[in-house]
Copies of this chain bind each other. A is one copy, B any other.
Amino acid sequence: MTDDRSGTGPADRTLALLWRGHGPPAPRRRGPAPAHTLEEVIETAIALADTEGPAALSVRAVAAAVGMAPMSLYTHVPGMTELTDLMVDHLYLVMPRPAWGRRRWRSRVRAVAEANRDLLRAHPWLVEVVALSRPPLGPGQMAKYEHELAAFDGTGLSDVDTDAALTFVLGFTQQQALAQHGVEAARRDSGSTDAQWWAANGPLLASVLDPARYPRAVRIGEAAGSAQGAAYDPGVAFSFGLDRVLDGLAALIEA
Task: List residues of chain A with CB under 8 Å of any chain B CB.
Answer: 5, 8-12, 15-16, 19, 22-23, 128, 131-134, 137, 139, 142-143, 145-146, 149-150, 153, 158-165, 167-168, 171-172, 174-176, 178-179, 181-183, 185-186, 190, 197, 200-201, 203-205, 207-209, 213-217, 219-221, 223-224, 227, 231-232, 236-237, 240-241, 243-252
Contact = CB atoms under 8 A, between A and B. Distances in A.
A102 B167 CA distance: 34
Contact of A171 (B137, B146, B186, B241): B241
A246 to B, nearest CB: 7
B248 A244 contact: yes
A246 B142 CA distance: 30
A237 B171 contact: yes
A97 to B, nearest CB: 13
Contacts of A145: 214, 217, 221
A140 to B, nearest CB: 12
Number of copies: 2
Given A205-B15, A247-B252, A132 B128 contact: yes
B11 A179 contact: no
B223 A163 contact: yes
A201 B12 CA distance: 7
Contacts of A219: 159
Contacts of A149: 216-217, 220
Nearest to A214: B146
A78 to B, nearest CB: 13
A8 B201 CA distance: 11
Nearest to A237: B167
A208 B5 CA distance: 19
A211 to B, nearest CB: 11
Contact of A134 (B15, B183, B213): B183
